[in-house]
Structure 1
Amino acid sequence: MSSEYVIEVEGLKKHFPLRDGLFGQQTGELRAVDGVSFKIRPGTIFGLVGESGSGKTTVGRTLLGLYEKTAGSVRYRGRELSALSPREMRALRPKIQLVFQDPYSSLNPRIRIGDAIGEAMLEHGLCSKAELYDRTIAVMRICGLAPQHYNRFPHEFSGGQRQRIGIARALILNPDFIIADEPISALDVSIQAQIINLFSDLRDDLGVTFLFISHDLGVVEHLCDDVAVMYLGQLVETASRDALFARPLHPYTQALLAAVPTLDPLREPAVAMQGEIPDPSNPPPGCRFSSRCPQASERCRREVPVLREVAAGHHVACHAV
């Protein structure tokens, strides 16, 4: 089944039960993701941004099936993932991969990195043992790793090199879609630029589509094609990269941009955020940003705003827009 989008997410919810007491009685629920919808075009990098605790990582893990969704729809190339059989999901698994924030934690310290990169090829029956070495070396080269690195162990590599190993492990399966969850946040700034350029090259040269999860709007502006801004489990604004950074409409997006250094004299000044992010297990009524928003009205505190299109491809959930 063909589709003009690689990923289509509609009304996605992931709620975690909150339990207390000796017998673990449920006392409430944490609405980590609460009605999120977006679409990702082929060959693009889609940025999902927000503060820590906004639900970004939960979105990524739910898309992968690491968390079972509470409600909503996730379609890959037009196919509803929850409707697939275990056999169909296994056949699809190589096409959807994850790059971790900390690749070292996912590497066996006793396995040489060449074997760690190539093992998934054999597991999925995608090549013979005779072909494996050459294929692994080819992917290592793409990711900036030299052939002499093949027989080294994880502890012999720097943080940036380990992230390249993590990317190579995802790329070895020839994926169509990669979820990159805060992949550069633990790296030095100089190394971050190299990994950003690698993601850009994989998009431009190989046509790989990415969901890039980050809290750093500066990185997202440099790398991504489209952007969604998430706050307390919900999307508050989605737009193309150029539209969002040239004219942010939601007060939360404006506040995030206030923290990003810029030399652009044309960018509108943004208003700084007030207070702390509310308890996600007990969000405020109405707009969830209302308790921190300088533009909040009584309507904002009472009614939940709908994410609506206010310009071509630009959606915002705000009563004041």
Structure 2
Amino acid sequence: MNKDYLIEVDGLKKYFPIQDGLFGQQTGQLRAVDGVSFKIRKGSIFGLVGESGSGKTTVGRTLLGLYEKTAGSVKFRGEELSSLKPKQLKALRPKIQLVFQDPYSSLNPRMRVGDAIGEAMLEHKLCSVAELRSKVIEVMKICGLSEQHYNRFPHEFSGGQRQRIGIARALILNPDFIIADEPISALDVSIQAQIINLFSDLRDDHGVTFLFISHDLGVVEHLCDDVAVMYLGQIVETADRDSLFRQPLHPYTQALLAAVPTLDPDSGPVAMAQGEIPDPSKPPTGCRFNTRCPLATERCRREVPILREVDGGGDVAGHRVACHLV
């Protein structure tokens, strides 16, 4: 075990069965996550980016145990999660939390906000009923909510406030690791900035480690320490934030960055990914990006590239890329 890493993922796979016919026979598999490996340093924010359908959310839910993995290893503090007994796993649950993309759908509309935030504390017996209100108010203030919000219902809040409620509900359990699944995609830009700053404060002041799942590269560049780029169930490039944004190496990463809007009037046209993301139940042979890559060669169509560290220093130091062209 490397004590610098809180989360270690190795060869993670999650396949969903495809059923068809009158009796629902399995006719194939949807390879949502197909051999993903990465490590997350303690006290850092690790960004996982890619298009819709790339498998980002499935990675997060499989890490949390909401989906049962097909294969691979997920270690938390060096301990394999799948080897834990139910009682051990329940004791670990407060340390790994999830912030959902849609804050309203994750809240019970009939439950007052203070009760929604504090119910997990009582479930895990982390405090008494007498202590609960003060602890809930304390974490609400950390998340930018006030005491007067305690007895209100979810429909009485704005989208940004509801997302803060979701974060408070995760934070009250004093987690070491939070999976934030597209937590700001449904919010206004001004509210997005507030949530981003809140995540930064939680990392800096409370030492919380994040897996930040997003398709917004502008947010990822501002917030994250390390970044992995995912395409069709596999990671194609990973590096620290500054290196990746300064010198992207994989054609898919370059295409994603090219799609980010810019105010520079002198910026010229850049190569973009062609076509649509393929069906994950029938991925292309060779490099999975070869059907959309303008630089693809015959080798790209024939051989599967391995995620490997790039030789050289400077801007590419620490880069790992799965591409025959690099």
TM range (shorter): over 0.9
Partners of 2:269 and 2:233 in 1: CA distance = 26
**Structure 2 residue 211 is the aligned partner of structure 1 residue 183:** no
Q: How do 1:38-187 residues align onto structure 2 when only pairs under 5 Å count?
A: 38-187=38-187
Query: Match for residue 4 of structure 1?
Result: 4
Query: Match for residue 313 of structure 1?
Result: 318
> Residue type of the partner of 2:215?
H
Partners of 2:4 and 2:205 in 1: CA distance = 20
224-233 vs 99-108, greater mean Cα deviation: 99-108
Q: Deviations over 1:31-65 (max 9, x none)?
A: 00000000000010000000000000000000000
Q: Secondary structure at the match of 1:202?
A: helix
Q: Deviations over 1:5-55 (max 9, x none)?
A: 110000000000101011100110000000000000001000000000000
Q: For the Cα contact (< 8 Å) 1:6–1:77, is it kept in 2? A: yes
> Residue type of the partner of 2:324?
H
Q: For the Cα contact (< 8 Å) 2:243–2:317, is it kept in 1? A: no
Partners of 1:110 and 1:62 in 2: CA distance = 29
- Ranges in structure 2 where 5+ consecutive residues have no aligned partner: 311-315
Query: Match for residue 279 of structure 1?
Result: 279
Change (3 A) 1:160 1:51: same
After TM superposition, give the deviation of residue 261 of structure 1 in Å.
2.8
Partners of 1:257 and 1:197 in 2: CA distance = 23
Q: How do 1:218-297 residues align onto structure 2 when only pairs under 5 Å count?
A: 218-262=218-262, 270-297=270-297
Q: For the Cα contact (< 8 Å) 1:247–1:268, is it kept in 2? A: no
After TM superposition, give the deviation of residue 108 of structure 1 in Å.
1.3
Partners of 1:272 and 1:10 in 2: CA distance = 31
Q: For the Cα contact (< 8 Å) 2:47–2:214, is it kept in 1? A: yes
TM-score by length of 1: 0.97
Paired residues, number: 321
Q: For the Cα contact (< 8 Å) 1:4–1:77, is it kept in 2? A: no
TM-score by length of 2: 0.96
Q: Secondary structure at the match of 1:204?
A: helix
> Residue type of the partner of 2:211?
L
Q: For the Cα contact (< 8 Å) 1:101–1:183, is it kept in 2? A: yes
After TM superposition, give the deviation of residue 131 of structure 1 in Å.
1.1
Q: Secondary structure at the match of 2:220?
A: helix
Q: For the Cα contact (< 8 Å) 1:17–1:26, is it kept in 2? A: yes
Query: Match for residue 313 of structure 2?
Result: none
> Residue type of the partner of 2:115?
D
Q: How do 1:11-50 residues align onto structure 2 when only pairs under 5 Å count?
A: 11-50=11-50
Partners of 1:181 and 1:264 in 2: CA distance = 30
Partners of 2:99 and 2:131 in 1: CA distance = 24
Partners of 1:57 and 1:269 in 2: CA distance = 31
Query: Match for residue 213 of structure 2?
Result: 213
Partners of 2:301 and 2:2 in 1: CA distance = 42
Q: Secondary structure at the match of 2:104?
A: helix
State, as a whole percentage, how many aligned pairs show the same letter: 83
Q: Deviations over 1:287-314 (max 9, x none)?
A: 0000010110000000000000005321
After TM superposition, give the deviation of residue 107 of structure 1 in Å.
1.2
After TM superposition, give the deviation of residue 270 of structure 1 in Å.
4.7
> Residue type of the partner of 1:199?
F
Q: Secondary structure at the match of 2:130?
A: helix
Change (3 A) 1:235 1:269: farther
Partners of 2:120 and 2:12 in 1: CA distance = 29
Q: For the Cα contact (< 8 Å) 1:136–1:172, is it kept in 2? A: yes
Query: Match for residue 196 of structure 1?
Result: 196
